[in-house]
């Protein structure tokens, strides 16, 4: 049922085994809605759960021996955390909401919850008896109201969406997973960052710096989704520093779609060029690829090469859709190239390059041709792969 994190600090959240879509991307392993209770002279519940999962929360509170809640800390008002707040307040009507100004307004706007709240800002404290909570505002990681809660005496950071991932499991802690399983866990954390947090990387760096400036020790990071970190904290912190700084691996992600197979054949030639330089690469046909995974690979790769035929003077729809999605997440520090076949006009490649320019990518080159690529074009495509590979090699 509940899981004990430190003395009188418990996980009392909910597991959603069947979640398969979240924020517009696939969550193939489900997710969790993590809620935490600190049972002291005064009892504080840190975040609620998604509406419909309140019974799991209440069952776990009962299992932990918690009969009342004095404070409900709302770190973030988004629906996966706060749509259950109203039900929690019905169950514990004396509970006082603790949140920031944006959080209070968000509860009113999103759920019609109009109650007095204890408004907190970075550095403010809430005394529960033997335990003390302090708060760190984390605006735009990833909403304006977002904040983190820190249990001072226990060195437990409760950062809401930061350091999370979508992964349903009976295991709660990172040290319960094998090294092989942790490979998947870290990849899901990267996917989560790439598809939700990436656009707010500057804010993430600011929060990381703020935590360092506060001089707090961290024994446990207990986010609002996925597993609780207590063994591999240095690793997840280092990865967040890398992802938020644009650091990536020496590999290339090739992304394409094809109308009659010409661009698909070309993608294989581009890959041969990369292979010539013994550089790692990933190859994704957007016709049957999960954008969530592709976006994770874009973030993790130093190079990106996009292929598209031209349709009605535009980028092919699936490629255009993904590029719009990618543009919104603002990946940075990429070496890029574009290629594609056309029948009579050929605007797609140029429009892809324009998107690269908007994102500030270092464009290595482009190749386009009419219908089926001849030997000279095939040679150009392989050279395009080599050029990108050469630019990203250390």
Catalytic site positions:
23, 76, 78, 80, 142, 161, 192, 225
Q: How far apart are CA 27 and CA 192, in angstroms?
A: 9
Rounded alpha-carbon distances, angstroms, from residue 67 to 18, 126, 159, 296: 30, 20, 25, 42
Give CA angle at 283 (356, 179), nearest 5°.
110
Helices 179-192 & 233-245 angle (0-180, nearest 10) = 30
Number of residues assigned to the chain: 394
Q: Are 253 and 331 in contact (CB under 8 A)?
A: no
**In the structure encoding, which two tokens stand for residue 255, read together?**
């992304």
The three state secondary structure string of 13-65 is CEEECCCCEECCEECCCCEEECCEEEECCCEEEECCCCCCCHHHHHHHHHHCC
**H-helix or E-strand spanning residue 257:** none
């Amino acid at each position: 049922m509940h899981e004990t994190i430190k003395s009188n600090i418990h996980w009392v959240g909910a597991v959603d085994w069947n979640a398969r879509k979240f924020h517009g991307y696939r969550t193939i392993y489900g997710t969790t809605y993590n809620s935490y209770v600190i049972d002291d002279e005064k009892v504080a519940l840190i975040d609620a759960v998604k509406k419909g999962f309140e019974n799991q929360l209440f069952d776990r509170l009962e299992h932990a021996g918690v009969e009342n809640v004095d404070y409900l800390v709302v770190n973030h008002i988004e629906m996966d955390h706060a749509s259950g707040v109203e039900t929690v307040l019905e169950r514990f009507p004396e509970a006082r909401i603790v949140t920031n100004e944006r959080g209070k307004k968000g509860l009113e706007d999103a759920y019609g919850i109009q109650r007095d709240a204890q408004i907190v800002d970075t550095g403010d404290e809430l005394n529960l008896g033997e335990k003390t909570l302090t708060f760190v505002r984390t605006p735009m990681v990833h909403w304006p109201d977002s904040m983190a809660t820190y249990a001072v005496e226990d060195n437990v950071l409760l950062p809401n969406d930061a350091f999370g991932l979508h992964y349903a499991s009976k295991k709660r802690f990172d040290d319960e997973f094998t090294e092989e399983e942790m490979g998947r866990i870290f990849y899901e954390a990267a996917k989560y960052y790439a598809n939700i947090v990436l656009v707010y990387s500057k804010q993430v760096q600011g929060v990381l710096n703020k935590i360092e400036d506060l001089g707090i020790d961290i024994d446990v990071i207990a986010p609002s989704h996925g597993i609780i970190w207590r063994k591999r904290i240095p690793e997840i912190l280092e990865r967040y520093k890398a992802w938020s700084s644009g650091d990536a691996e020496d590999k290339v992600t090739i992304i394409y779609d094809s109308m009659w197979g010409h661009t698909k054949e070309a993608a294989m030639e581009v890959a041969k060029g990369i292979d010539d330089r013994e550089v790692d690469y990933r190859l994704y046909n957007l016709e049957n690829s999960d954008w969530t995974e592709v976006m994770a690979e874009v973030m993790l790769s130093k190079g990106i090469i996009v292929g598209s035929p031209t349709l009605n003077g535009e980028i092919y729809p699936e490629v255009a859709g993904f590029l719009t999605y990618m543009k919104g997440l603002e990946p940075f520090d990429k070496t890029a190239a574009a290629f594609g076949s056309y029948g009579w006009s050929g605007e797609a490649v140029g429009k892809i390059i324009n998107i690269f320019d908007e994102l500030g990518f270092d464009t290595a080159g482009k190749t386009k041709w009419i219908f089926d690529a001849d030997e000279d074009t095939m040679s150009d495509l392989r050279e395009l792969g080599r050029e990108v590979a050469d630019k990203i090699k250390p």
